[in-house]
Amino acid sequence: MIRRSPLVLVLIGMLAGPASAAIPNFGFNGITGVGELDGQLDDRLGISVNSTDHVINIEDCAVYAGGSADWSVSISPLPSGDWQYAAAYAPPNKTCATSDANPEAVDGGCVVPRAQRELTDTTVTFRVAFDELMGETCDSDTEGTATVYFIVENPSIEVNYETIDVTVDLSAPTAPVLTEVVGGDGRFEVTWTDDVNDPADVTYTVYWDETDFTSDALSTVSHKSGIDTNSVAIESSSIENGATYYVRVAAVDEADNVSVLSDTLSVTPEATTDFWEGYVAQGGTDPGGYCFIATAAWGTPMAGELDTLRHFRDDVLMQSAGGRAFVAEYYRWGRFAAAWIADKPVLRAVARVFLTPLIWIAKLMLWIGPFAGLFVLGAGVMGLFALRRRLVGRILRDVPMEAR
């Protein structure tokens, strides 16, 4: 995190020496691992240009120990005049002086890879040793903010600097307590408690496998991560009824440090019967599902309505030459329409709206026969026209003839 110089330092600087402020046109270019760490730095270190969050956790500490990285910053365009620069860094709880381009350790912890160098290039790269940046061993259980400094000085006139904060979190969260795992139908629900970690600082990861496992095998077992509650339903297609699953949970902090695993509980999911399964099992006759271009419109075969439409096709349409021609044209063009709307939710919804009355009409004709159905439909249409004529007549009743 880039932090602007505090106002109080500016005020002190105005009174006691050269003016001090943020560096104009300063930019962060990125971090590159050196030697064995080339390409091995984790994204959470903020290795990309303009990154603002820089984190080192326990896992990183183990990987980065003994190594170093090149940090690159830029000032473009360069300020006018004769400027010097310095790059320095201090581990958590230590600071570097920023009064000139020759920083010193305020409290004995400042490392200075560059000091009083002429500022001639818009890009500056300096090397940072991870052991000195982290300041502690990986099992130290410490948390703090290391600081990388970049200072520019126009001697006796002006000193400006920028800081880049690096969160060093070498403290793992405490393991939650797994309290219950309850099996369902192809699923199970996991519940745990956590009286130690701050809920705002941790999420949880649930691990499960058909054989009991330890932390060494986490890369091979199934897991669900990013859980911000104290219970979760595990619903994976790989969960089989009748199989026994061993379940453990771990807390994960904001630096991605993972706690030790909770104790293990096991669960055996079993089939249950929901309403529809019970309805079918006890002899319910509704076939369920939807139908037709409706197969595309509703995204599934409409078994019940499909029967209606099949009967309508066979018993009504196919009984006349016109109907047979319609069916032939439908089978020629309808499948293209179905394919076209299949992946378009709005068109599928429109198709659903238009298909519903068609299904009603089909059912009406199958119910009372095609001729009676046509008669009812015709009567309905004529009734609507009569109604419309009467409505228009009423509306125009008080309108002068010349205004109509």
Partner 1 sequence: MSHRLAALLAAGAVLAAAAPTGDAHAESPRSASVTLHFGTYTPQVDSQFETATPWDDVFGEDTMMLIGFEAGYELWKEHGVLEIQGGWRYGWIDGTALDSAGNPSTDSVGFNFMPFTASVRYRWDWAAIHHNIPLVPYVKAGLTGALWWSTNGKDEVSNTRGADGEGREGRGMTLGWHVGGGLQLMLDTLAPGMAADFDSESGVNNSFLFAEVLYTVLDDFGSSTSINLGDTAFSFGLMFEL
Angle, alpha carbons 42-46-48 (nearest 5°): 100
| Residue choice 29, 142, 187, 338 for contact with partner 1 (CB under 8 A) | 187
| Residue choice 281, 321, 399, 401 for contact with partner 1 (CB under 8 A) | 281
Q: What are phi and psi of 114, to 5 degrees?
A: -135, 135
Q: Does residue 19 interact with partner 1 by CB under 8 A?
A: no
| 163 close to 88: Cβ distance less than 8 angstroms | no
**Residue 335 C-beta: closest distance to partner 1, Å:** 22
User: How is 300-313 classified by DSSP, letter by letter?
Assistant: S--HHHHHHHHHHH
Of residues 212 and 286, the one with the C-beta less far from partner 1 = 286
Other C-beta atoms lying within 10 Å of the C-beta of residue 160: 24
How many chain residues are in contact with partner 1, going by CB under 8 A? Answer: 44
Q: State the Cα–Cα distance between residues 305 and 286, nearest whole angstrom.
A: 11
**Residue 62 C-beta: closest distance to partner 1, Å:** 39
User: For residues 295-314, which are near partner 1 according to CB under 8 A?
Assistant: 300-305, 307
**Residue 178 C-beta: closest distance to partner 1, Å:** 17
Q: Does residue 387 interact with partner 1 by CB under 8 A?
A: yes
| 228 close to 203: Cβ distance less than 8 angstroms | yes
Q: Does residue 43 interact with partner 1 by CB under 8 A?
A: no
User: For residues 101-140, which are near partner 1 according to CB under 8 A?
Assistant: none
Q: Does residue 391 interact with partner 1 by CB under 8 A?
A: yes
Residue ranges of the alpha helices (H) in 98-250?
130-134
Candidates 363, 248, 379; CA nearest to 316 is 363
| Residue choice 290, 292, 348, 365 for contact with partner 1 (CB under 8 A) | 290
Contact range with partner 1 by CB under 8 A, out of 67-75, 79-87, 252-260, 278-286: 278-286
Structure tokens at 224: 């669900």
Binding mask 329-368 vs partner 1 (x if CB under 8 A, - otherwise)? Answer: ---------------------------x--xx--x---x-
Q: State the Cα–Cα distance between residues 235 and 184, nearest whole angstrom.
A: 9
Q: State the Cα–Cα distance between residues 139 and 145, nearest whole angstrom.
A: 17
Binding residues for partner 1, rule: CB under 8 A, are 182-187, 189, 233, 235, 270-290, 300-305, 307, 356, 359-360, 363, 367, 387, 391
